Structure formats: structure tokens, C-alpha cells
Amino acid sequence: MHISKHPVVEKIEPQIADTLADFGYELVHMTFGGPAGHRRLTIYIDKPGGVTSNDCGMMAQRLSVLLETIEPVAEPWTLMVSSPGLERPLTQDEDFVRFTGQKAKVTIQPLGGKKRTRTGVIQAVANGQVTLISGQQNYEVPLADVTAAHLVHDWDVEQDR
């Protein structure tokens, strides 16, 4: 997958992932951005069974200590630790295997090609490609062309409960 990352994220991601793993959490995704003077580092975490607001608060405290020592940026910024939510981002090739059978939205931009979006149920992952099924359509998507992806929550099923 070709998901571009902010240089600050590139710089600190390994240390953040290691610290989270030490406490039993998975780093799902990190973003850094916003207007000057109001930048935000957002860290999405998960664990088996999901994360609670207490998990996010506890890891925000732990990660704040780490971030104070590595000082990733000189300008003012805030930290937010959150769950990935119902429409969890898929940020690694392994995520497609892990969430096989679930619906996903995938943004594709082949080298030199036009950006396209495909939505469907993840059927299989093999030979560097993910197969999405939408109705009668099968889409073979090269993982190398994926620029963004996330699960799609079926709100209609939720309302039927």
C-alpha cells in the first residue's frame, strides 16, 4: 500500500508502536496536521475486544511522557488518542487479510492513472491483490495501488437490532 505519512509521523511511528505494544495495544494509524499553532497528533489504537475511553486516556498519559522526551516538533501541538471507530482505517496489507468478509472502501491510484474508489466485501487477498465483491461485480485491486482504505459499517443492519 502507498499511504503517505507526514514526516513527523514517519519519525516517531516506530517508538509509538513499540510503546503501545508494550501495553497490549496495536497502532492502527497516526496523523499529524492542522493550522500552525494548533497542530494535532492523533493516534488511533486498538486491542482485541476494542478500546474504551479509559484505554485512550491511559495511553495518552503514557505516550505524552514518551513524546516529551523525543520532542517530535518544536511548535505547539496537542495529542489525541482514539479508537479507530466503526469504520476503521486499513493501513497495512495484513489488515485486508484480518478483515476478510467485511465491507471496505478502497481508494486506488495506479501509477500515472486516475484515482478511483471501490467499495465491496473483502473476499480474498493473494498475490499482492485484494478481491472485493460488490453485488455481481468482482474487483481485483493491486495492494500497491491502494492509497487509502477503511471498513464500511452497515448502518442499516445496526438499525434492525
Which of 20, 53, 82 delimits the end of a domain?
Answer: 82
Q: Which pLDDT value is given to residue 157?
A: 62
Q: Which pLDDT value is given to residue 158?
A: 55
Q: Which pLDDT value is given to residue 72?
A: 84
Contact 27, 43 (CB under 8 A): yes
Q: Which pLDDT value is given to residue 156?
A: 72
Identity at 154, one-letter amino acid code: D
Q: Which pLDDT value is given to residue 113?
A: 79
Q: Which domain holds residue 102?
A: 93-160
Domain assignment present for residue 116? The answer is yes
Angle subtended at Cα 106 by Cα 105 and Cα 111, rounded to the nearest 5 degrees = 165
List, for residues 63-109, the tens digit of each pLDDT value. 999 999 988 888 889 999 999 999 999 999 999 999 999 999 999 98
In the chain, the DSSP E strands lie at 26-33, 39-46, 77-82, 103-108, 116-126, 129-134, 137-142, 146-151
Domain assignment present for residue 11? The answer is yes
Structural domains counted in the chain? 2
> Which CATH number goes with the domain that contains 39?
3.30.300.70
- Rounded CA gap, 48 and 39, in Å? 30
Q: Which pLDDT value is given to residue 159?
A: 53
Assessment of whether the complete model's pTM goes beyond 0.75 = yes
Is there a single domain that holds both residue 68 and residue 104? no
Q: Which pLDDT value is given to residue 28?
A: 95
Residues (pLDDT < 50) of the chain are none
Domain assignment present for residue 141? The answer is yes
Is there a single domain that holds both residue 76 and residue 123? no
The helix-helix angle for 53-70 and 7-22 (nearest 10°) equals: 120
Is there a single domain that holds both residue 98 and residue 151? yes
Q: Which pLDDT value is given to residue 1?
A: 72
